């Protein structure tokens, strides 16, 4: 992968950051970079997963732009942005008279991506019925417009992205296991910004220069003090959050925009009520802080895995039995009691709907 290939991508796919900014010099991103050229050349489905704001969209565009099908279209479908009732017609198109309001024939985005790349962003949002139609497309390259009698054949490279754990979605019954194996031929994991803190300074400098140029501003380079704040921040929104922060700084022009904003976003892990009337028991306060932090971490990991305790234990690098003990010790609900509560809520909601 050379500089020329990236400059040609900038022209064909719209402006994208240079190679050294996209990949930086952190080990997780260098691993992505080493896989990218091989992945792009092979006509196999690719699954890109990672938290929101980690750059999955850019990697999908690079895969297309570095592939033998780069002269074909790159068609992106943002699955959660299109209501489920409309998504099928958007994806697969429809024939005239297929439903009320179908006054003409409309090709879907699958058809539009013929001899190119179909990028399905946040594929976990697809309904099960659409997942089965996508599975057919991946199996034999065929699909059927709504209201059509015959299947159509297309040549399309499918790239998918998600910020969810699809294995957990399979266990929850919201994602097809056979489709998962079809789209997961090659898996690219996008690291969080927390995992590539060494790239934060270069990313911030790039965004600063870019938005100074775009908005015709003259915001000064960030001070060492502010850069230190950026390095220590936990970045739940990843690169997108950093970009938006630098954009606001460029427009408003003072560093307090950054420091005040980040301080207000820092998680309040422990806020003890300290009385200065008597001696302060530092060891006791420290134990309480550690206990509260551990509870919050366990709760967040359990929520991330939809309360699948075995997967949560693997993520936390502790044994399953140790996790069960910590759940009880922290006063968190068990998996069984949570499901019973959800079932009761569902019954209540169903009763309200019936009324």
Domain residue spans in the chain? 3-189, 197-265, 282-339
Q: Report the C-alpha gap between 249 and 247 in whole angstroms.
A: 5
The pLDDT assigned to 56 comes to 96
Encode pLDDT of 113-123 as tens digits. Answer: 999 999 999 99
Helix (H) or strand (E) segment spanning residue 290: helix 282-304
**81-109: b (≥16 Cβ within 10 Å) or e:** ebeeeebbbbbbbbbeebeeeeeeebebb
Per-residue pLDDT of the chain (355 residues; tens, 9 = 90+): 443 344 445 444 556 888 889 999 989 899 999 999 889 999 999 999 999 999 999 999 999 999 999 999 999 999 999 987 789 999 999 998 888 888 888 999 999 999 999 999 999 999 998 999 999 999 999 999 999 889 999 999 999 999 999 999 999 999 999 999 999 999 999 999 999 999 999 999 999 999 999 999 999 999 998 898 899 888 989 999 999 999 999 999 888 888 877 766 655 545 555 555 567 777 777 777 787 788 888 888 887 787 788 888 889 999 988 888 888 777 666 554 444 444 444 443 444 344 4
Sole residue written with tokens 């957990």: 168
| Lookup: tokens for 282 | 């530092």
Superfamily assignment of 3-189 in CATH? P-loop containing nucleotide triphosphate hydrolases (3.40.50.300)
Judge whether 164 and 121 are in contact, CB under 8 Å.
no
SS3 content of the chain, % helix, strand, coil (to 5): 55, 10, 35
Which CATH number is 197-265 given?
Answer: 1.10.8.60
Other Cβ atoms closer than 10 A to 292:
16
The pLDDT assigned to 260 comes to 77
The pLDDT assigned to 346 comes to 47
Q: Report the C-alpha gap between 299 and 18 in whole angstroms.
A: 38
Judge whether 193 and 24 are in contact, CB under 8 Å.
no
Q: Report the C-alpha gap between 162 and 117 in whole angstroms.
A: 17
The pLDDT assigned to 254 comes to 87
Q: Report the C-alpha gap between 277 and 307 in whole angstroms.
A: 43
Superfamily assignment of 282-339 in CATH? Homeodomain-like (1.10.10.60)
Judge whether 280 and 303 are in contact, CB under 8 Å.
no
Judge whether 267 and 297 are in contact, CB under 8 Å.
no
Torsion (CA) 202, 207, 208, 213 in degrees, nearest 10: 130
The pLDDT assigned to 11 comes to 41
Closest listed residue to residue 233, CA positions, set 254, 211, 259, 252: 259
Q: Report the C-alpha gap between 188 and 236 in whole angstroms.
A: 20
Helix (H) or strand (E) segment spanning residue 78: strand 74-78
**58-80: b (≥16 Cβ within 10 Å) or e:** bbbbbbbbbbebbebebbbbebe
């Amino acid at each position: 992968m050379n500089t020329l290939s990236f400059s040609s991508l900038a022209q064909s796919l719209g402006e994208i950051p240079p190679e050294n900014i996209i990949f930086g010099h952190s080990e997780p991103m260098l691993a992505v970079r080493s896989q990218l050229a091989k992945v792009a050349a092979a006509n196999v489905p690719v699954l890109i997963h990672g938290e929101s704001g980690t750059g999955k969209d850019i990697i999908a565009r690079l895969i297309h732009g570095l592939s033998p099908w780069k002269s074909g279209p790159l068609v992106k479908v943002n699955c959660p942005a299109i209501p489920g009732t409309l998504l099928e017609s958007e994806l697969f198109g429809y024939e005239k008279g297929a439903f009320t309001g179908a006054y003409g024939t409309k090709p879907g985005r699958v058809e539009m991506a013929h001899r190119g790349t179909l990028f399905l962003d946040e594929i976990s949002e697809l309904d099960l019925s659409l997942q089965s139609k996508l599975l057919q497309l991946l199996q034999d390259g065929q699909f059927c417009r709504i209201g059509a009698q015959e299947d159509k054949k297309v040549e399309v490279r499918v790239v998918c992205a998600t910020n969810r754990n699809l294995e957990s979605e399979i266990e929850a019954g919201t994602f097809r296991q056979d489709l998962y194996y079809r789209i997961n031929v090659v898996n690219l994991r996008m690291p969080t910004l927390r995992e590539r803190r060494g790239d934060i300074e270069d990313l911030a400098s790039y965004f600063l220069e870019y938005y100074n140029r775009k908005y015709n501003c003259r915001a000064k380079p960030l001070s060492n003090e502010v850069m230190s704040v950026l390095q220590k921040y936990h970045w739940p929104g990843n690169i997108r959050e950093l970009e938006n922060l630098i954009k606001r700084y460029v427009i408003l022009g003072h560093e307090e925009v950054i420091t005040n904003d980040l301080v207000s976003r820092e998680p309040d892990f422990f806020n003890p009520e300290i009385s200065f009337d008597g001696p302060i028991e530092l060891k006791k306060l420290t134990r309480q802080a550690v206990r509260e932090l551990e509870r919050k971490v366990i709760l967040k990991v359990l929520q991330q895995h939809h309360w699948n305790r075995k997967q949560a234990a693997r993520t936390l690098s502790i044994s399953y039995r140790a996790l069960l003990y910590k759940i009880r010790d922290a006063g968190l609900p068990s998996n069984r009691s949570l499901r019973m509560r959800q079932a009761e809520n569902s019954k209540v909601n169903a009763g309200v709907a019936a009324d």
